[in-house]
Structure 1
Amino acid sequence: MNLHLRSQFIIHNSQLKLSGSKSETNRLLLLQALYPNIVLENASDSDDSKVMTKALQSDEMVKDIHHAGTAMRFLTAFYTIQEGKEVILTGSSRMKERPIQILVDALRQLGAQIEYAEKEGFPPLRITGKKIVRNKVTLKADVSSQYISAMLLIAPKLENGLELTLEGAITSVPYIKMTLALLNEIGVKTSFEGNVIKVSHAEAIDKRKVTVESDWSSVSYFYSVVALSAIGTEIKLTSYKQNSLQGDSVLAEIYNELGISTTFENDSIIVKKVNFQEKELNRNLNASPDIAQTIAVTCLGLGIGCHLTGLHTLKIKETDRLEALKNELGKMGASVSVTNDSLTLTPTSEINKNIHIKTYQDHRMAMAFAPLALKVPIVIEEADVVSKSYPSFWEDFKSIGILVNPV
């Protein structure tokens, strides 16, 4: 499905309620499988979370998690401790190109039984669950924080808990802290000192309700909408916390540089354009790489340059996001250069109209480019890819005043 987008007007006082965080939901779904006393509220309605739920609840031996990278990492760890159960974890053709050897090697250090069903170092995996008694492991920390979180999530069910030593610069620290905070919230003791994380054993926990905060990655697209609108434009969004566990909540700070204010009101945020000063944006996004696409497109729309670093994990996402951004921003008229961990954009004085944006089976490519409709008409190819994280995205986009039509 291709969609043609063009600006009509932005409803000044738009209000939206966004689904729960995919990152929090998927962590809590795994913890709920380990501790059925957990009750979830405001869980994500994303494809990734649905895939995670189905895999955890299904009795089928083959678990196909499609494009869901988080599910692949978390479930790899989960099934290693399901004693006597054998599963095959597989996914899309792109998933079979996404490396998982660092996580598999770490789990094998603990004694896990995992085999590569096809290519060494990549899914699909054949996992035979067993009792794990070892409790010390070393893991490279500079590739994906999801490997670390996968280990931490199963740690309280290991007979002797877990002592995890991290090697190298730690990527996406907020996501690790999110995992530890959720473990603490359900009553599991943890510590994170220097490069060592410890998680205590917890055979059972008391019954408790956990409410998932709405997704900050999803709200980034509305920050972009407000940034590309007239001064005075505002959108109210729920449900958000000022002391969020999500690393992408740094959006409020980043977009403040672009003249956007964020006001917390009860469980909502009000995002408003208050001013704009034309200057290049320079940010290290090592702790929040998922918002890089949104920020780059916002800068293009504002006619300003940007230099974004800390992006090395983007090369192993749904697509190579750095190359994808270079290609599609270039089609819009910008000059873009990328390295293994950075993107530099030099804007164009005139953005090209009615360009077809390729999405590369990547939900964030579709949503990041959508706000450009406020500047020029644009076509988003394979637009239904947004269901991976935000199924109601196009309906919400229409509701704030942007025309969205199939082509």
Structure 2
Amino acid sequence: MKLHLSTPPNRLIKADIEITGSKSESNRSLLLRALYPNISIKNLSNSDDAKVMEMGLQTRKGTVDIHHAGTAMRFLTGYFASQAGTDVTLTGSQRMTERPVKVLVEALRRLGSDIEYEKNEGYPPIRIKGKKLNERRVSLPADISSQYISSLLLIAPSLENGLELELVGKITSVPYIKMTLGLLSEIGAVNSFKGNVIKVEPKTMVRPTVLTVESDWSSASYFYSILALCEIGSEIKLSAYKKNSLQGDSVLADIYEDFGVQTSFSDTHILLKKIGNHQQKELQYDLANAPDIAQTIAATCFGLGVGCHLTGLHTLKIKETDRLEALHTELGKMGANISVTDKTLTLMPSSTLKKDVAIDTYNDHRMAMAFAPLALKTSLYINDAEVVSKSYPDFWKDLQFLQLAVREAE
């Protein structure tokens, strides 16, 4: 599906939007519920990724195809490895077979698991024969994707001896690790995070517990971007959010102050208001703890003619696509003066904003959604727009609710 987005006649927006539960929290909660059936979940994400995760957790034997869901690949690897009696082949899309899992597989093998590569060493598909894992100590590089780390932490309380995980080097994506540990604390699993060592004690049973999933902050980022590109006085209320969020992307509330967007918290929602215009010509952010919002910020800056230098982006090269190269290509098509390395992005200030450019999405939901707010500045096309269902199936409907002109192209 190809969509055409055009600038609305009125760029003063006022609306209420309800966003589905966080994909990250939902996937963690689903795995914990599979380990401890006394857990129930509220506000579960309606994303493709959560559906794939839920389906995979119900499988004991045969092939599990998680399509483009990288989180499910990492989390299910740990889950199946720790479940005695399971015998599954875990696979996914062509892109998924190019995304490395070796670091996680090696760690699980050191804990006693039985995992073999079906094709290429270090990459899916993988054959997993579940076993009882008795080893307690293992280490991982500290600068890898937090999903590898969380995969081990989530199964840790179900292991006979728990887990002592040493992170070697400088730790990145700390908020996602803390999100996992926060959920473990909610179910009563004793854990600690001191220096570079995380300990999780074994827990055989969990009392009846309700895990309420906060709405997704990554999804909120696109509305922050929309407001940054709107007229002063625009406001959007987003539900359901909390001030002390477990999600690292909640840093949006601070970052978008630089774009004149103010965030007010209530018990159940956040109110975003456009109260001013950006003041600086060039912005700098270290996004090591929130890399998923890099695309949104880069697109916002481009739409405003603001330069930016984004660092801490080393994990973006192994996402649904190489997000840094994708940004370089697609923003470049729209007229941006942009350069990238393997972990940084630099955008020069520019007033160039080409019209009716067709943006390729590379099977990446965030490419489609990050570029969509630019419709407030120019008309554009989004190719393969249905990719948003990976994390936010209602995205295009919600944009139409904001009176943005979204129509299917010929």
Q: TM-score, normalised by structure 2?
A: 0.98
Match of 1:18? 19
Give the match's secondary structure for 1:352: coil
Match of 2:32? 31
Give the match's secondary structure for 2:164: strand
Distance 2:11 2:29 in 1: 35
Match of 2:236? 235
Give the match's secondary structure for 1:61: strand
Q: Establish whether residue 7 from structure 1 lines up as the match of residue 10 from structure 2.
A: no
Q: Are the equivalent residues in 1 in contact too, given 2:146–2:173 (CA < 8 A)?
A: yes
Q: Are the equivalent residues in 2 in contact too, given 1:10–1:400 (CA < 8 A)?
A: no
What is the CA deviation profile of residues 340-379 of structure 1, one whole-angstrom value per residue up to 9, with x for unaligned ones? Answer: 1100001321200000000000000000000000000010
AA aligned to 1:81 is: S
Note the 1:25-174 alignment, pairs <5 A: 25-174=26-175
Q: Are the equivalent residues in 1 in contact too, given 2:291–2:315 (CA < 8 A)?
A: yes
**1:171 Cα deviation after fit:** 1.7
What is the CA deviation profile of residues 185-223 of structure 1, one whole-angstrom value per residue up to 9, with x for unaligned ones? Answer: 011000000000000000011001111000000000000
Name the % identity: 61
* 1:292 aligns with one of 291, 294, 308: 294
Give the match's secondary structure for 1:126: strand
What is the CA deviation profile of residues 115-159 of structure 1, one whole-angstrom value per residue up to 9, with x for unaligned ones? Answer: 001100000000000111110001112121100000000000110
Distance 2:139 2:96 in 1: 25
Give the match's secondary structure for 1:120: coil
AA aligned to 2:272 is: V
Match of 1:375? 377
Distance 1:350 1:165 in 2: 48
Q: Are the equivalent residues in 1 in contact too, given 2:61–2:87 (CA < 8 A)?
A: no
**1:110 Cα deviation after fit:** 0.5
Name the CA shift for 1:370/1:364 in 2 (closer, same or farther; >3 Å).
same
Distance 2:144 2:342 in 1: 12
**1:99 Cα deviation after fit:** 0.3
Match of 1:191? 192
Give the match's secondary structure for 1:127: strand
Give the match's secondary structure for 2:30: helix
Match of 1:249? 250
What is the CA deviation profile of residues 159-196 of structure 1, one whole-angstrom value per residue up to 9, with x for unaligned ones? Answer: 00000000111121000000000000011000000000
Equivalent residue pairs, number: 407
Match of 1:326? 328
Give the match's secondary structure for 1:213: coil
Q: Are the equivalent residues in 2 in contact too, given 1:20–1:212 (CA < 8 A)?
A: yes
Q: Are the equivalent residues in 1 in contact too, given 2:61–2:86 (CA < 8 A)?
A: no
Name the CA shift for 1:11/1:246 in 2 (closer, same or farther; >3 Å).
same
Match of 2:367? 365
AA aligned to 1:367 is: M
Give the match's secondary structure for 1:174: helix
Distance 2:328 2:306 in 1: 16
What is the CA deviation profile of residues 323-353 of structure 1, one whole-angstrom value per residue up to 9, with x for unaligned ones? Answer: 0000000011011110111000013212000
AA aligned to 1:380 is: I
AA aligned to 1:337 is: S
Of the structure 1 ranges 257-266 and 375-384, higher mean CA displacement relative to structure 2 is found in 257-266
**1:279 Cα deviation after fit:** 2.3
What is the CA deviation profile of residues 5-56 of structure 1, one whole-angstrom value per residue up to 9, with x for unaligned ones? Answer: 0121356320000000000000000000000100100000000000001111
Distance 1:356 1:231 in 2: 29
Distance 2:283 2:12 in 1: 27
Distance 2:138 2:61 in 1: 30
Gaps of 5+ in 2: none
Distance 2:298 2:384 in 1: 21
Distance 1:59 1:386 in 2: 29
Distance 1:36 1:10 in 2: 48
Q: Are the equivalent residues in 2 in contact too, given 1:10–1:401 (CA < 8 A)?
A: no
**1:60 Cα deviation after fit:** 4.8
Q: Are the equivalent residues in 2 in contact too, given 1:11–1:401 (CA < 8 A)?
A: no
**1:278 Cα deviation after fit:** 3.9
Q: Are the equivalent residues in 1 in contact too, given 2:307–2:350 (CA < 8 A)?
A: no
Match of 1:335? 337
